[in-house]
């Protein structure tokens, strides 16, 4: 398996490239529109055909590159079940798997940051957690039908039940961190450590964060697979 972690500096978004080396087929998770040239160049340099673009959720801080990549490569755009995206080629539900050669990607429902959010478990060894779980943090829950109690359940009753050695690759990082493990986050993540469900809800409901700068543009664009309304 080929695995690459790519970064967009403006939105602090991680995009993940996963490929089967034998088939020379690849998928991208959470591509960013402005980084489509970078992603295409890397695919060409590695001799890979892009088969799928996967979204963990409808993003509010950047516009997805899925629509543009689909135009350029003919790949399929895949989103979580119940995400309000009419242009998706396929919807994944909790427990469903996507195969790419010897690579098996299992969808894990992790709602809370948004009401339709998936994490992706790759070959039982690494989990792409999107905005459900960050390295020593988690995604906010104050818009897009987010719910703090639901996120607490998704993480503590879902992600934290994975083997402790499972690598954690988040959807964002704002402090230069790239990878963690489930065991580390269970032991050290300050959002969850020492907080029960009600305490977590109170904490999350009082963050008082400003809205993402691109929110008004990004959400409707991402509901149209990255197409910007004119």
Q: Which of the residues are catalytic?
A: 57, 59, 61-62, 113, 131, 172
Backbone dihedral angles phi then psi of residue 127, each to the nearest 5 degrees: -125, 130
Query: Smallest Cα–Cα separation from 159: which of 123, 120, 201?
Result: 120
As to burial, measured by CB atoms within 10 angstroms (0-12 exposed, 13-18 middle, 19+ buried), residue 202 is exposed
Q: For residues 52 and 29, give the distance between their C-alpha atoms in angstroms, rounded to a whole number.
A: 8
CA neighbours within 13 Å on the CB side: how many for 41?
5
């Amino acid at each position: 398996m080929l695995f690459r972690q790519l970064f967009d500096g403006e939105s602090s978004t991680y995009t993940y490239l996963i490929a089967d080396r034998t088939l020379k087929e690849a998928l991208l998770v959470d591509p960013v529109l402005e980084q489509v040239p970078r992603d295409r160049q890397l695919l060409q340099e590695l001799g890979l055909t892009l088969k799928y673009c996967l979204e963990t959720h409808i993003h509010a801080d950047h516009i997805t590159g899925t629509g543009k990549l689909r135009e350029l490569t003919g790949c399929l755009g895949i989103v979580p079940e119940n995400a309000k995206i009419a242009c998706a080629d396929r919807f994944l539900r909790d427990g469903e798997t996507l195969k790419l050669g010897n690579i098996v990607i299992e969808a894990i429902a992790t709602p809370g940051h948004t009401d339709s959010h998936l994490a992706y478990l790759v070959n039982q060894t690494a989990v792409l957690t999107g905005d459900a779980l960050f390295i020593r943090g988690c995604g906010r829950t104050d818009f897009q039908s987010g719910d703090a109690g639901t996120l607490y359940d998704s993480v503590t009753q879902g992600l934290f039940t994975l083997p402790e050695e499972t690598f954690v690759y988040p959807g964002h990082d704002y402090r230069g961190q790239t990878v963690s493990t489930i065991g580390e986050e269970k032991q050290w993540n300050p959002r969850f450590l020492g907080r029960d469900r009600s305490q977590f809800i109170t904490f999350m409901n009082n963050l008082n964060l400003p809205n993402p700068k691109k929110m008004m543009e990004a959400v409707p664009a991402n509901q149209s697979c990255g197409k910007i309304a004119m």
